Structure 1
Amino acid sequence: MTAVAGLPGVGKTNWIRQQLTQQPTLYFSPATRIGIDQTRLAVEFPHVQVLADDQQTQLWQLASGVSAYIELGYHLDLAKIAPLLDTLNCHRVAIVSAGTQDADWDEWADEIIVSSLGATNATSLWVANTTGHVIDPDSLEVFWYELTQGAYGVVSRAKGIFELADGLSVYGDFVAGMQPKEFDELNLPRWLEGRPQRLSGIEVWGNQLDEAAIAQTFQDCCLSDVAIRHYQQQVKEMLAEEAMI
């Protein structure tokens, strides 16, 4: 069993993704506020069993005979969670950015992995569960550009899962100083019946964030029930026509 820790934006989840094989695997990230990483991993790697917080007591039993990864968010107190890691006999991995010198990581970790990503020095974390909200792609592009380019404060790291008007679900990922990425479509069926009842949300690390403005701007971009029904009906008709060709 491997416990992975590091600063925000340094690539903890990405490192875990690189370790995953087709073998049965457990993934657990305690006290996660939304579950963006859990949702993405579950979609991308269906053979990975993602555990919820209320399954923590079953971790040792469920992990018997399989690979298991515990991702520790930076908001957690590693000293307080140490007894759990000791009980589980975890191999401790710290992901650090190049040039980082921190005696605390040297003391905590059994293994240190140097990442090509730079850790954020953000002081604020803004999180929003947006499940049930639907946005059109053009509005999402504008919102994401404004968010990541400093319209609402200095953003070091942002990620989110968004439900689009055409029923698709996409993942957005931003790290300051890195080449901007396109949104990735998640391998999920189109949601074409009312407001989606699967997880979507946003997580933003930064400094001097105008949280109220971020929330209001996103809300302004979201579609009404009438608009959602209109778009969904259009997509249904389009798919029906394509099926007849």
Structure 2
Amino acid sequence: MASSNITLVAGSPGAGKTTWISQFLTDQSQDLFYLCPGMGRDSVDLVRIGYRFPWVSVIPENQAQTVLAGLPRQAQVYLELGFHLDLASPLLATLPCQRVAVLPPSLNQSEWHDWADEVIPGNDIQDAGRDPLPELWRSPLTGQVFDPPSLDELLIELTGGAYGKVMRLKGIFEMPDGRAFHIDFVQGLPGIEYTELNLPRWLQGRPNRFSGLEVVGHHLEQETISKTLLASCLADDVLAQYQHQYQRLHPDEETKEVFSI
């Protein structure tokens, strides 16, 4: 492991940690590894990295110690640390690594500044500190397909403060035409970003690939958000009608097995 290059990347929610890491994952000639500890299997960032960069080895958390102990020479490893993780964790303290903090330029002093070897200026978001620590709420959505207008309305309400103060929102959502989208919102930045994922259209029943939502904020009405999410999903008969229509429009499309952890 001593000959490998390990970079720990920490910082406030929405500052741009995943974006900063992604610029280093484009070189297919390198042995590249990515790990998002503390998020388990159902991490939006973990899955999206796997979709965008299929040549990157995405490390399952339960295999992290084994993989890190047997890295190939000159491997490049990026560990993205959630804002909720303890920077003084014994595991993090013993890793031979470079520590990078991606932080808003307006945040002049923090625990991340004291921890990092290098501070990278990221998105200039507000309320970027850890006091009080915001909530992290996650909802698995695998198998659910959304009515697009209902989903748009929900996301506008959610990011507008209807169900608590949302600082950060990201998710992967399935649409009735078989496409999947990554949706991203950062408080203080304009709009909600929709990015289509480069995946085969899923037009045969309910999708058996990851989708889910992660929300960071304060005073989140979690039960209400969950109920409103489900109300925006399509019932089996409606989904079947949509898929039948799109199958006729896209007869050559096939559902394929894609990234899994």
Counterpart residue type for residue 21 of structure 1: T
RMSD across aligned positions (CA): 1.9
Aligned residue number for residue 189 of structure 2 = 178
Corresponding position: 1:88 with 2:88: no
Matched position secondary structure for 2:70 = helix
Q: Which one of 140, 143, 151 corresponds to residue 151 of structure 2? A: 140
> Does residue 16 of structure 1 match 2:21?
yes
- Cα distance in structure 2, aligned partners of 1:160 and 1:120: 21
Counterparts of 1:103-122 in structure 2 under 5 Å? 104-118=111-125, 120-121=127-128
Structure 1 CA distance, aligned partners of 2:14 and 2:78? 18
| Mapped pair 1:212 → 2:217 | no
* Residues 53-92 of structure 1: pairs in structure 2 closer than 5 A: 53-57=61-65, 58-62=67-71, 64-80=73-89, 83-92=90-99
Comparing 55-64 with 228-237, greater Cα deviation is found at: 55-64
User: Does the aligned pair in 1 maintain the 2:185–2:193 contact within 8 Å?
Assistant: no
Superimposed CA distance per residue, residues 205-242 of structure 1 (whole angstroms, 9 cap, x where no aligned partner): 11221111111111001011111111111110111399
Cα pair distance change 1:89/1:17, threshold 3 Å: same
Deviations 1:30-87 (A, max 9, x none): 121521011111111111111111111122313532211001111111112xx33344
- TM-score, scaled relative to structure 2: 0.86
Q: Secondary structure at the match of 1:173?
A: strand
Aligned to 1:166: 177
CA distance in 2, matches of 1:231, 1:240: 14
Give the whole-Å Cα distance in 1 for the aligned partners of 2:48 and 2:252.
Answer: 31
TM-score by length of 1: 0.91
Q: Which runs of 5+ in 2 are unaligned?
A: 1-5, 254-261
Query: Contact (CA 8 Å) 2:140, 2:213: kept in 1 or not?
Result: yes
* Structure 1 unaligned regions, length at least 5: none
Distance in 2 between the 1:77 and 1:29 partners?
Answer: 14
Alignment-mate amino acid for residue 17 of structure 1: S
1:46 aligned partner, one-letter code: P
Identity value in percent: 45
Distance 2:79 2:72 in 1: 11
Which amino acid is the alignment partner of residue 157 of structure 1?
R
Confirm or deny that 1:28 pairs with 2:39.
Answer: no
Q: How many residues were matched structurally?
A: 240
Residue aligning to 2:140: 129
Matched, 1:100 2:111: no
Q: Offset at 1:105?
A: 2.6
Q: 1:143 to 1:38 in 2, by over 3 A?
A: same
